[in-house]
Structure 1
Amino acid sequence: MFASHQLVGNLISLALLSSGTGGTTSGTTLLFIVFLCSMTLGTILMCFLHKRDGNGGKGAPDSSANFSSSVVSVLKSAIAPLFDVRMLLIIPLIAYSGLQQAFVWAEFTKYIVTPALGVSGVGGAMAVYGAFDAICSLAAGRLTSGLPTVTLIVSGGAFVQAIVLLWLLLKYSVTSGVLGVIYPLLMAAILGIGDGVFNTQLSALIGMLFKCDTEGAFAQLKVWQSASIAVVFFMSPYISLQAMLVIMLTALCIAVAGFLYLTLQVEKAFSSNS
C-alpha cells in the first residue's frame, strides 16, 4: 500500500499535465492544490491514530516526568543500534536505498525522462516506476521466508539496478522514435523493481535481526534513508549525471559487500549455535 502511492500520485500528475503545459502557472498550480489537499487530509486522519496502551489503560503517570523519561528512552533506543556491528553493516544498504530513490526523483526525471518524453511524460514514467515498485513490494514480501531468501532477493534487486546504472553510464543516449519512449519506461520499471526489493527486504532484515529493539532499528532505517535523499537533492545542482552514476555504483558495491558479509556472519553464528 505504501509503494502504491507513487503510482497513484504520478497518475494524477500525468492526468493534470497531459496537455504538455506542465511548465505553465495554471497546470502546476492545479497540481499543487491537489497534492496539498491530499496532504491535509492525510495529516487530519493521522491525528486519529492512537498508540496501544501497554499497561491496559491503568491510570496516567505524571506528564512532565513521563515526558522527560520518554525523551531519554527514545534517544537511547535510537542510538543503541549504532553500537551493533550488524547495524553498521546494514547502514550502507539503507543509505543506498535512499540514494537510489532520490536519484530517480531528481536525476533520472531531469536527465533521462524529460528530454525523451517531455515534462508531461514525467508523470507517466514515474507511474510505471510506482506500479512496478508496488508489484515487486507485494511479490518480494510474499516470497520472504528467512535470511537466505532475503539474500537472494536483495542480490537480484541490486543486480538489475546495477544494469540500469551501467547502461546510463556507458551506452545510453536520448533517441527519437519508439525506442526513445520505450527505453525510459523500461529503465523506470527496472528501477521500480529494485526499490520495491530494497524497501521490503530491509524491513524484513531489520525485523529478523533486531527483535529486541525494533523501534530503534527502524528509526535508523528512516534516518539514513532521509539523510541520503537530502544529500542527493543538495548535490544535484552541482554535480553531473555521470559523476552521480559513478557515486551510485560505488555506493551499491559497498552496500552489497557489507550486506553479503553480514549474511555470512549471521549464517555462521547460526550454524555454530546449532
Structure 2
Amino acid sequence: MGPEGKKLLNIIILGFGFMFMFTAFQTCGNIEVGLIIFFSFTFQIGHTMAIIYGVFSASNLIAPSVVTVIGPQLSMFFSGLLYSGYIAMFIYPYTWSFYTASVLVGIGAAVLWTAQGNVLAINSTDTTIGRNSGIFWALLQFSLFFGNLYIYCAWHGHVHITDKDRQTVFISLTVISLVGCFLFFLIRRPDPDPAPSEASEALLQGESIEGIKACKMFVTKEMLMLSLSIGYTGLELTFYSGVYGTCIGAMTRFGQDAKSLIGISGIFIGIGEILGGGVFGMLNKWNQFGRNPVVLLGLITHFIAFYLIFLNIASDAPLAPEAGTELQAYITPSVPVAMLCSFLLGLGDSCFNTQLLSIIGFMFRDNSAPAFAVFKFIQSIMAALAFFYSNYLLLHWQLLILVVMGFLGSMTFFMAEAMAESTRRESDYDSI
C-alpha cells in the first residue's frame, strides 16, 4: 500500500473510531434528559451542559500542548476513556460522579477534537483535505443513525423504563464506546511527504508552547474571518441536537407518539449528515469551484428548514418540554414536514462542517493542533450560549438568530475561501 493509501486508511479508521464513540455518547445525550426526569435524579441536565461546555471551552487552551506532548493517537485514546467513563456513570448514577464526569468529559472533548484535527491534517494534502473531511464526517454521523435506531428498538413499547432497562442500555453503550477508543491504535503515522514533513515533525516534537500559539492564532485575519461561520455551527449544533427534538416532543398535536418522534428525528438528521458528508467527500476531486458552492447549498438548505419549522412548530414549544403545547403555528402540524426539516438540518450542517474542516486543515497545515483547538473553542462557546438562551427565547426568535448568523457566517467564509484560493495559487506558482 502506497503513502496515499495509508493516509486514506487512517482517515477511515479515524471515522470508524469516532462513529463507535459517538454512537454511544450521542445516544447517552439523547436519553439522559428523559432519564433524569423519569428517575427523579438529584442532578440537573442544565447544570451538566453548562459544566461540559464551559470546561470544554477553557480546556482548548491546553489541548494543543497535550496533543503535542503525548501525540494525537494516545490523546484520542485517553480522551475516549473519559467519554466512556461518563457513559458508564449512568449505570449506577450518583450526584458527585455525575458532576465529576461532566468536568472530565469537557477536558476530554477538547483534547479529542484537537487530536482529530491534527490527524486529519497530517494525513491530507491540499488536494485530498476536502475528500478526507467528507469521509470522516460521513462516518462520524452514522452515529446519529445507529444510536437513535438502537434506542428506538431497545425501548420501543416500554411504557416504563426500569433500572434494569437503563443499566442494560448503558452497559452496551459503554462497550461500544470502548471499541471506538481501541480502534485509534490502528492508526499509523503516514510516510511524510518532503514538504509537510518538517511541519509535522515540529508539531509532534512540540518546540513551542501550543496554548500560546492557539491564543495568537485566534486573532489572525484568517481565523477572525472564519469565526462567524464557526460560531454559526455552534448555534445550529445546539438547535438540531437539543432544541428541535424538544420542540417535536412538546407538540401534543403530533399525538401520543410525539415523544417517540424525537428518536425518528435524530435518525433523519443522521441521514442528512451522512449523505452530505459522503457526497461532498466523493465529489471533491471533481469540484472545480472550491468550497463556496457547498457552503451556499448549506445556507439555502438551512433557510428552507428554518422557514418550514417556523410554519410547522408552535413558538412556545422550546419552553414546554414536559407539559407540551396545544398551540398551532401557521399550518396544521405535520409529522412528514417535521422529519423533512430534520433531514435538511443534518444536510446543511454537513455542508458547513466538512468545508470548515477542509479550509482550516488547508490554511493552518503547519499548526493544525492549535488551529482546530481554536475552532472547537469558538464552536463550544457559541453552543453554550445557544443552550443558555434556548431556555428563555420563543422559537421564532431562536430561528431569527440562526438566520442572521448563518448569513453573516457564509459571507465571511466566502472571503476566507478567496484568501485560501489566492494562497494556493501563489504556492502553485512558487512550485513551478
Q: TM-score range by the shorter chain?
A: 0.7 to 0.9
Cα deviation for residue 114 of structure 1 reads 4.5
Cα deviation for residue 77 of structure 1 reads 3.0
Q: CA RMSD in A?
A: 3.1
2: distance between equivalents of 1:160 and 1:4?
20
Q: Tell whether the 8 Å contact from 1:81 to 1:217 is kept in structure 2 after alignment.
A: yes
Higher RCO (CA < 8 A, seq sep 6+): 1
Q: Give the length in aligned residue pairs.
A: 254
Task: Select the residue among 185, 206, 219 that pairs with 2:373.
Answer: 219
Deviation string 1:220-251 (CA, Å, 9 cap, x unpaired) is 22222222222222222222111111111111
Written as runs of structure 1 = structure 2, the 5 A alignment for 1:81-160 is 81-112=217-248, 114-115=250-251, 116=254, 117-145=257-285, 148-160=289-301
For residue 193 of structure 1, what is the aligned residue in structure 2?
347
Seen in structure 2, the aligned counterparts of structure 1 residues 74 and 120 have a Cα distance that, compared at 3 Å, is same
Seen in structure 2, the aligned counterparts of structure 1 residues 118 and 29 have a Cα distance that, compared at 3 Å, is farther
TM-score, normalisation: structure 1 = 0.79
Q: Tell whether the 8 Å contact from 2:232 to 2:382 is kept in structure 1 after alignment.
A: yes
| 1:3 and 2:141 correspond | yes
Q: Tell whether the 8 Å contact from 1:141 to 1:201 is kept in structure 2 after alignment.
A: no
Q: Tell whether the 8 Å contact from 1:7 to 1:128 is kept in structure 2 after alignment.
A: yes
2: distance between equivalents of 1:15 and 1:88?
45
Cα deviation for residue 189 of structure 1 reads 0.7
Tell me the amino acid that sits aligned with residue 7 of structure 1: F
| 1:16 and 2:154 correspond | yes
Deviation string 1:150-199 (CA, Å, 9 cap, x unpaired) is 11111101111011112323x33459xx9722111111111110112122
Deviates more, 1:252-261 or 1:138-147: 138-147
Q: Tell whether the 8 Å contact from 1:93 to 1:256 is kept in structure 2 after alignment.
A: yes
Task: Select the residue among 389, 395, 402 that pairs with 1:241.
Answer: 395
2: distance between equivalents of 1:94 and 1:36?
35
Q: Tell whether the 8 Å contact from 2:308 to 2:337 is kept in structure 1 after alignment.
A: no
Q: Tell whether the 8 Å contact from 2:308 to 2:341 is kept in structure 1 after alignment.
A: no
1: distance between equivalents of 2:298 and 2:182?
36
For residue 169 of structure 2, what is the aligned residue in structure 1?
34
Seen in structure 2, the aligned counterparts of structure 1 residues 52 and 140 have a Cα distance that, compared at 3 Å, is closer
2: distance between equivalents of 1:71 and 1:226?
28
Seen in structure 2, the aligned counterparts of structure 1 residues 35 and 191 have a Cα distance that, compared at 3 Å, is farther
Seen in structure 2, the aligned counterparts of structure 1 residues 236 and 78 have a Cα distance that, compared at 3 Å, is same
Cα deviation for residue 270 of structure 1 reads 5.8
Seen in structure 2, the aligned counterparts of structure 1 residues 40 and 263 have a Cα distance that, compared at 3 Å, is same
Q: Which ranges in structure 2 are unaligned for 5 or more consecutive residues?
A: 1-138, 191-204, 314-327
Tell me the amino acid that sits aligned with residue 85 of structure 1: K
2: distance between equivalents of 1:231 and 1:153?
26
For residue 63 of structure 1, what is the aligned residue in structure 2?
none
Q: Tell whether the 8 Å contact from 2:363 to 2:420 is kept in structure 1 after alignment.
A: no
2: distance between equivalents of 1:147 and 1:94?
24
Task: Select the residue among 209, 214, 218 that pairs with 1:78.
Answer: 214
Tell me the amino acid that sits aligned with residue 194 of structure 1: G
Seen in structure 2, the aligned counterparts of structure 1 residues 270 and 72 have a Cα distance that, compared at 3 Å, is closer
TM-score, normalisation: structure 2 = 0.52
Describe the SS at the equivalent of 2:366: coil
Q: Tell whether the 8 Å contact from 2:364 to 2:371 is kept in structure 1 after alignment.
A: yes
